[in-house]
Amino acid sequence: MEPIIKSQDQLYCNSLTSYSRRKTIPVNVGGVLIGGDNPIVVQSMTTVDTMDTQGSVEQCIRMIESGCQLIRITAPSIKEAENLKNIKDELRKRGYSTPLVADIHFTPNAAEVAAKIVEKVRINPGNYADKKKFEVIEYTDESYQEELNRIRERFLPLVKICKEHGTAMRIGTNHGSLSDRIMSRYGDTPLGMVESALEFLRICEDENYHDIVISMKSSNTQVMVQAYRLLVQKLVEGGFKPYPLHLGVTEAGEAEDGRIKSAVGIGTLLEDGLGDTVRVSLTEDPEFEAPVAKALIDRYSKRTPHAEIKKIEEYPIHPFDHEKRHTYEVFNFGGHHVPRVITDISKIEKISEKEIKQTGHFYLPELDKWKMNDQGCDFVFSGSNPIPFMLPNGMKEIQYAEIWKQQSDQINKFPLFNLDEYANSSDFHLELNFLEIFDTEIEEVIPIIADRKDTVLILKTSNKHAMPALRRAFVSLMESNTEIPVVVKIAYPDQDHDLTMLYAATDVGGLLIDGLGDGIFISLEKENQTDRQEILDQVKLHNSVGFGVLQAARTRMSKTEYISCPSCGRTLFDLQETTAMIRKRTDHLKGVKIGIMGCIVNGPGEMADADYGYVGSGKGKITLYKGKEVMKRSVPSERAVDELIEIIKEDGMWNESDSI
Ligand code: SF4
């Protein structure tokens, strides 16, 4: 296998095998230090209208009390920028010193006002000096340079104000709102995102202004991760200072989906030591965001020391592109198959037909029929507790090898071996066997499995630095050209639901982003529950988290994807209520991506690659999109969901709900 990265100099992080935070320059934001050796900072953004001083202050306080160390507030025009002073004064009067950040899109004059009031200004390089026209223009080198000169002229006053007032800045690129200039030259690629920030960064450096934090957000986790990595590499290559990184996944959505998607993107980067401040964007009240960000960050405070992971000399994985690891097909694993979900029910003795519904498979006694929903797991792991009823077609069971060997019907049942059993067994399933190993056993296993086209590896680790340890095992397989499919097995004993969700998303999502893994298996191993209902709840959670992680890493679409903005002071309708309403009517449209955006200013750009869009375009007015194309303008909000469904139907993407 040809290595992609041949030396440390080409890497995007300090180490792929040993936890180490990237060294950055510290940036002082009103006393909160981002970067350097300082702890990773938690931040979030208000959703109240910026002109509502009291409402904004009350919300800021709720956010601060939930763990927010930095608060961003939108300033769409000069009047909101000016009102930041009232918000700040009131907060200080009430004893809160949390620094404020003004969020700017399209309005340099508002930025210039805000920079004199608040501690940090966020600009979007895609729209600071450009209005998006979705035009593809052919630029010559000369006309491109002219554009850059125009930007410099527009941007320089802000840089000077920031320098003079000690105000920090975030150059915050969004995948969905790149300028027409960048799109024409680079497309909406990670490289385009990086270049978009560098255009502005060069101006800052020329002015000797360095109080800068950079972000590369996208709602597509693969693009987001690749863009941050590429940014680090380009900063090094271009001789820029090592600026701190602000991590975030845009429009992540709500509830479990929003948390999983955020953790896949943010967690993957944190694992490699990237990131100095984190904002989790959920379509929920902002005080729910900081605890999620904190849970993601806290994991690294105890990361070192961790068990040693063998160094990687040459790296065969492309960090800036998604390329699935090449595997051969075993049964329905590997090859061209989507990653599989194995759901663990092994702690439940004599599971009933009714209870197995936690795995997405339903028995309907009135019809004496089995059905499964979009999250019906591919395999159930029963361990030493075989399923005591006849398996319906399609349901497949994995058992410990010793149990499997005693079964009379072995067609839909498959054995799971440990290394010792596997090496000494002469009795195998003809088509599909599972071999469970630790990452540390990989070198020993490779010669044993090299020629086996009837086996899938179940890979697990006990290393605290789990994702990199598992990744190292994949690298060993790639180095030896061993193309066996691999399912990643993880276990989180003694944890609440939220942490299981976030950790599974980080550990397995981080691998899937890099094309590694042909399945996910969240184990009940060591779970300390004894209450049957609690275990069943855990099974249900693991099953849905399994599918959620695959979807968030964009490797298997099993449900409708909602790209909903977190809302801010620009929002024109109740995002949470509207998202819930749209979800209720459309959540059976497997694989369809629906953007739900609070305003027409940023919404169309930021809903990225949504198939359909529902965008606030005025009080009580919605504009509906198919891709980037406007289908209906200014639809009264009472009719907008029906009209959206009409558009989906006309497009042939609708099917009637078959809810169970
Ligand atoms: S799309 Fe949503 S979060 Fe973004 S500016 Fe508009 S309302 Fe605010």
| Residue pLDDT, tens place only, 24-58 | 999 999 999 999 999 999 999 999 999 999 999 99
**Which ligand 1 atom sits closest to the C-alpha of 601?**
6
The answer on pLDDT for 493 being more than 50 is yes
The answer on pLDDT for 246 being more than 60 is yes
pLDDT score of 533: 93
The answer on pLDDT for 96 being more than 80 is yes
Instruction: Identify the band that residue 451 occupies on the pLDDT scale cut at 50, 70 and 90.
Output: confident
Q: What is the rounded CA–CA span in Å between residue 575 and residue 597?
A: 8
DSSP collapsed to 3 states, 385-426: CCCCCCCCCCCEEEEEHHHHCCCCCCCCEEEEEEHHHHHHCC
Q: How many CB atoms are located within 10 Å of the residue 646 CB?
A: 15
Instruction: Identify the band that residue 17 occupies on the pLDDT scale cut at 50, 70 and 90.
Output: very high
- Ligand 1: distance of its center to the CA of 222 in Å? 22
Residue nearest ligand 1's atom 8 by CA: 568
Question: Are 76 and 105 within 8 A, CB to CB?
Answer: yes
Pocket lining: 386 vs ligand 1, CB cutoff 6 Å: no
Which of 290-304, 521-535, 638-652 bottoms out in mean pLDDT, i.e. has the lowest?
521-535
- Ligand 1: distance of its center to the CA of 280 in Å? 15
**Which ligand 1 atom sits closest to the C-alpha of 615?**
1
**Which ligand 1 atom sits closest to the C-alpha of 565?**
2
Pocket lining: 568 vs ligand 1, CB cutoff 6 Å: yes
The answer on pLDDT for 494 being more than 80 is no
pLDDT score of 118: 98
The answer on pLDDT for 6 being more than 80 is no
Question: Are 404 and 387 within 8 A, CB to CB?
Answer: no
Non-local (6+) Cβ contacts of 363 within 8 A are 353, 354, 356, 357, 369, 370, 392
Question: Are 203 and 156 within 8 A, CB to CB?
Answer: yes
Pocket lining: 607 vs ligand 1, CB cutoff 6 Å: no
Q: What tens digit of pLDDT does each residue of 375-423 get?
A: 899 999 999 999 999 887 678 999 999 999 998 878 789 999 999 999 9
- Ligand 1: distance of its center to the CA of 189 in Å? 22
Pocket lining: 72 vs ligand 1, CB cutoff 6 Å: no
Non-local (6+) Cβ contacts of 505 within 8 A are 259, 260, 261, 262, 263, 264, 267, 545, 548, 549, 552
Q: What tens digit of pLDDT does each residue of 589-633 get?
A: 988 999 999 998 878 877 867 999 999 999 999 999 999 899 999
- Ligand 1: distance of its center to the CA of 570 in Å? 6
**Which ligand 1 atom sits closest to the C-alpha of 570?**
7
pLDDT score of 198: 98
Instruction: Identify the band that residue 660 occupies on the pLDDT scale cut at 50, 70 and 90.
Output: very low
Pocket lining: 570 vs ligand 1, CB cutoff 6 Å: yes
Q: What is the rounded CA–CA span in Å between residue 48 and residue 161?
A: 27
Pocket lining: 376 vs ligand 1, CB cutoff 6 Å: no
Is the preceding peptide bond at 305 cis, omega within 30 degrees of 0?
yes
Average the pLDDT over 522-532 and give the result.
Answer: 79
pLDDT score of 11: 83
Residue nearest ligand 1's atom 4 by CA: 602
Pocket lining: 597 vs ligand 1, CB cutoff 6 Å: yes
103 vs 131: which has the higher pLDDT: 103
Pocket lining: 566 vs ligand 1, CB cutoff 6 Å: yes
Q: In this structure, what token pair is assigned to residue 357?
A: 């519904």
Pocket lining: 602 vs ligand 1, CB cutoff 6 Å: yes
Average the pLDDT over 118-141 and give the result.
Answer: 82
- Ligand 1: distance of its center to the CA of 242 in Å? 30
